[in-house]
Chain A
Amino acid sequence: MKDRLAAAVKQSRAGYTEIRVERTWSSAVAFRGRRLETATVSEDQGGFVRVLNNGCGWGIASFTSLDELPAMVSRAYELSRAVRLDDPIRLAETPPEVADAILELDGDVRGIALSDKKKLLDRYNGAMLAVSNAIVDTQSSYRDEVSEVWYVNSEGTSLYQLRPEVVVSGTAIARRNGTIEKGLESIGLRKGWNSVQNFEHQFRVVAQRAVDLLDAPRVRGGAYPVILDNELAGVFIHEAFGHLSEADFVYENPQAREMMTLGRRFGKPVLNVGDNGAAKGLRGTLPYDDEGTPTQDTPLIKEGILVGRLHSRETAAKLGERPTGNARAISFRHAPIVRMTNTYIAPGKKGVGFNDLISDIKLGVYACGAFGGQTMLENFSFTAGWGYMIRDGKVAELVKDVVLAGNLFQTLDRIDHIAGDFTWNQMGGGCGKGGQFPLPVTEGAPHVRIEEALIGGDV
């Protein structure tokens, strides 16, 4: 395949040409309540061509029919020629990479019978349903894939990557009369069959929580001291800051560049943030990004100060910085754009735990788990799965509908304590941007305290 792509690149008339071909083998099982929805095996395949001509913009073609490859290279060339640019697009220099990068399969999912995958999910789904009669519905899904990705460009890079993935998720829905609550468990790993065994306990816990939430009051709206658990702190840093550090937001925008000037203070000295696509064995991990640039650990905030950002080759060239291996595409259907990988808040002092964060809070909220998050850059939301009130330094009653309203400049700066209990939270789903969803990412964080944050609700 590499040779076939190299030949097509060679025939291209464009100044720069890259071709990515993917073949993805996947299987999926889903339950809804006690019924099996589907159990299927699929193969998806296709290609992506992107070219650049001198004085022109990008010409792009994506396709499912690989027989069309030479024709698509020509089409992309013509499209690029139609986009005239005064200020040409430049790509930051990267040394050509030639490699076969095979990630550990940890139990090749292609060798496991579909019926065994059904049995596994049946166990997890059944564990949720068995918790209580109040669990009226569940949505459970198992999905695995092994993706082969070939990448060749006209600068001599030639890569083959094997990327496995497995995701098991379950939503338990509890109902009593008009009150409906849900609990969500999701495990997403860049691994295989061996890594998703023995999660019954976790599925039981979320189903029980859905039942418990039936009797919980809604949180009252207002500003509170808030402690985020590891999972929500991870979602928080992804939404609050991660997206702002993606250089495609600033590279063409002088006002945004000024707002995000390296050296600017964003938090107190306790705050250290980074993105590490090279971390071992995580869902957001890749040896190379989708422009063939090796991934790396990129510090973004050091002791409260902005020190870096995430780049593609184009954004790096424009800002005179170095590519960081963050150009990613969810599939051959899309162009690579600047994305996060494994984003983290570094742990605070060793030995500092949850109790050290809570002890001096008179009235506050302990926000746990994550249903999701979304950003509009300055303002963002992050939705907890559940929460507890904090009263006089202690965890008090369970509350629901805990949605935090964040502001980049205020919320980050109000992080005043960070515990030492760091964990990576490897969930399914993923990140959405520019019509590309879901991109596998991981977030990692310890418990984090925000002096004051706004929570929506009745006031």
Chain B
Amino acid sequence: MIDRVLDATRGKVDGADALWRREEQTAVAFESGRLKAAGISEEAGLNLRVLVGGRMGVAGTTAAKPDPAELVGRARASAELGEIVDLTFPGAAASTLPPIPTFFDRTANASLAELIRMGRLLVERLSRPDCQVNVAVEREVADTAVGNTAGARGEYRATGIAVTADLTRIAGDDVLMVYDQYVGADMPSDADLETLVRSVETRLTAALRVVTPPDGALPVVFTPAGLAAVVLPLEQALSGKTVLQGSSPLAGKVGATIFDERLSIFDDPLTPGRPASRPVDDECVPSRATGLVERGAVGRFVYDLETAARAKTQSTGNGRRGVFGKPHIGYTNMLFRGTDGAHGGQTAAPLQMLGGGLIADIDDGLIVDDLIGVGQGNVISGAFSHPVGLAYRVQRGEVTGRVKDAAVAGNAYELLKRIGGFGGDGRWLGSRWSPSLLLEGVSVARR
């Protein structure tokens, strides 16, 4: 398909690249403990980018039998309105791709009955009389092919599986929601599912008692899930696009130590066993790891081909594209390096203990596991302010119960200057691996 469409561009454009992707998903859903639905979805799409007279244009299609000439025509029309960009497609030499296993037979071949079995196991383990359990199991097999008129080609098959469990407990007017997920390229073992069960149970048990929230500037442990509000500003600021536009607070600060010196963050598409891992990005650039923050200093920004060309640098292999629209910058796996240097492993028992071993010295503070409305404020500035979704009070080194009707606020850049501690509970959450972090002086407001 890639060759056919690139052939169709010959003589009509100065250069082109294309992505073809076919995805098959199988999903089963348990609602309130009952298996309610099973479904499949099949989708294929083609995205083409062309350069005509130095101008860039794009077109995409989900048609079952795409007409290459029609697609090229639409991409050319798009280019007529496009900006001039000095884009160079990677050549054939770039086609030597790093070895990274993305396809697991066990995942691809798992039967519907096996997916149902896993879901049922979780439902059985998590059921309790006062709670409703929803479980979803979703398996995906995707074929990706990329290529360009400079001769580069890349192809790979990938598998992914997500097992999600959420528990809702309503007691009178108190609503408690606890959620966790296994995400991997390979099937979860029964031990992985058991870890998920324990993670939900631990957080549920500690949440049964509701206590008054504290207020003031307090030490707060952000769990790997709770960290989202703190990480999001960094993700935006480390994007080469934001830097080019002049709206990144980190622009011009490469090499400057502006975070705690123990903090290192990497983007690594070559992490084994992760669904976001791949040998090549969606623009034919071979994958490699990028140090975003290294020992507290700003490392590299991430780029796709277009933003790299504009910034007169190299793509970091972070090009991502969908069927419609043009390629854009996307992170792959984002990893925080813990104090012991370890990162990316599946910690065997990540949540035996809430707070990752960071609460012993807290006299009065919080563990924040979920915040509401993350991403909806003025994110790039680093400022955040959110009601707690799931949070616990810590008093004299112990978890005393769940707090409600409290809001936490702070600035990610200020808080990460001095990190009170890195937890021993590093784990994957979606495509991010991190331990809990203890941050000092977080504003906590209550009614």
Question: Chain A residues in contact with chain B, CB under 8 A?
Answer: 28-29, 32-33, 35-46, 57-68, 75-76, 79-80, 82-85, 87, 89, 114-115, 118, 136-137, 173, 175, 178-182, 218, 221-223, 252-253, 255-256, 258-259, 333, 335, 371-383, 400-401, 403-410, 452, 454-459
Contacts and interface: CB of A to CB of B under 8 A. Distances in A.
A374 B62 CA distance: 32
A32 B245 contact: yes
Contacts of B112: 79, 82
22 contacts: A40-B59, A40-B325, A42-B60, A57-B36, A57-B37, A57-B38, A58-B39, A63-B41, A64-B43, A64-B64, A79-B39, A82-B116, A83-B28, A85-B36, A115-B80, A179-B381, A255-B169, A333-B41, A379-B404, A381-B386, A455-B407, A459-B217
Given A60-B39, A221-B445, 15 more contacts: A39-B82, A40-B60, A42-B60, A84-B35, A89-B36, A179-B381, A222-B445, A223-B447, A253-B32, A255-B171, A371-B378, A374-B373, A378-B175, A379-B405, A454-B407
B389 A379 contact: yes
Contact of B385 (A42, A76, A175, A403): A403
A383 B409 CA distance: 13
Contact of A36 (B81, B132, B249, B387): B81
Given A371-B376, A383-B377, A65 B130 contact: no
Given A28-B325, A79-B39, A137 B373 contact: no
Nearest to A119: B81
Nearest to B371: A381
A223 B445 CA distance: 9
B90 to A, nearest CB: 21
Contacts of B415: none
B177 A41 contact: no
B42 interface: yes
A459 B325 contact: no
Contacts, number: 275
Contact of B443 (A58, A221, A407): A221
A252 B32 contact: yes
A63 B43 contact: yes
Contacts of A39: 57, 78, 81-82
B45 interface: yes
Contacts of B383: 218, 401
B445 A457 contact: yes
Contacts of B377: 371, 383, 401, 403
The 7 closest A-B pairs by CB, nearest first: A456-B407, A221-B445, A60-B39, A372-B376, A405-B387, A381-B373, A378-B175
Contact of A75 (B31, B40, B173, B177): B40
Interface of B: 28, 31-32, 34-45, 57-64, 74, 77-78, 80-83, 112-113, 116, 130, 132, 168-175, 177, 215-217, 241, 245-247, 249, 323-326, 370, 372-378, 380-381, 383, 385-389, 404-409, 443-447
A60 B81 contact: no
Contact of B245 (A136, A178, A459): A136
A68 B445 contact: no
Nearest to B80: A115
B343 to A, nearest CB: 29
A373 to B, nearest CB: 7
Given A42-B61, A454-B445, A180 B249 contact: yes
Contact of B61 (A43, A82, A83, A452): A43
Contacts of B324: 28, 40, 42, 44
Centre residue among A61, A115, A405, A406 by max chain B CB count within 10 A: A405
Contacts of B62: 43-46, 64
A381 B81 contact: no
A63 B40 CA distance: 9
Contacts of A57: 35-38
Given A61-B41, A371-B376, A401 B35 contact: no
A374 B229 CA distance: 14
A80 to B, nearest CB: 7
Nearest to A89: B36
Contacts of A32: 241, 245
Residue with the highest number of chain A CB atoms closer than 10 Å, among B82, B113, B175:
B175
Contacts of A333: 41, 43
A405 B387 CA distance: 5
Contact of B405 (A87, A372, A405): A405
Given A61-B41, A407-B404, A42 B59 contact: yes
A182 B233 CA distance: 14
Contact of A58 (B36, B77, B80): B36
A456 B408 contact: yes
A247 to B, nearest CB: 13
Q: Which of B57, B215, B370, B447 has the most CB of A within 10 A?
A: B447
B409 A60 contact: no
Contacts of B132: 252-253, 255-256
Nearest to B172: A259
B82 A36 contact: yes
A423 B245 CA distance: 36
A142 to B, nearest CB: 12
A459 B443 CA distance: 7
B174 A378 contact: yes
Given A182-B378, A405-B407, A137 B247 contact: yes
Given A41-B78, A175-B247, A180-B378, A376 B389 contact: yes
A38 B78 contact: yes
A374 to B, nearest CB: 4
A272 B447 CA distance: 26
Given A89-B36, A378-B175, A459 B41 contact: no
A215 B112 CA distance: 58
Contacts of A115: 80-81
A114 B78 CA distance: 8
Nearest to A28: B325
A83 B37 contact: yes
B60 A83 contact: no
A83 B409 contact: no
Contacts of B408: 456
Nearest to B31: A252
B39 A335 contact: yes
A118 B409 contact: no
A376 B77 CA distance: 45
B278 to A, nearest CB: 22
Nearest to A379: B387
Nearest to A114: B81
Contacts of B387: 379-381, 403-406, 454, 456
B81 A118 contact: yes
B389 A454 contact: no
Contacts of A455: 407, 445
Nearest to A177: B249
A43 B409 CA distance: 43
Nearest to A66: B64
Contact of A173 (B64, B380, B447): B380
A456 B83 CA distance: 43
A254 to B, nearest CB: 9
- Of B38, B42, B80, B444, which is in contact with the most chain A CB atoms at under 10 Å from its CB? B38
A66 B64 CA distance: 7
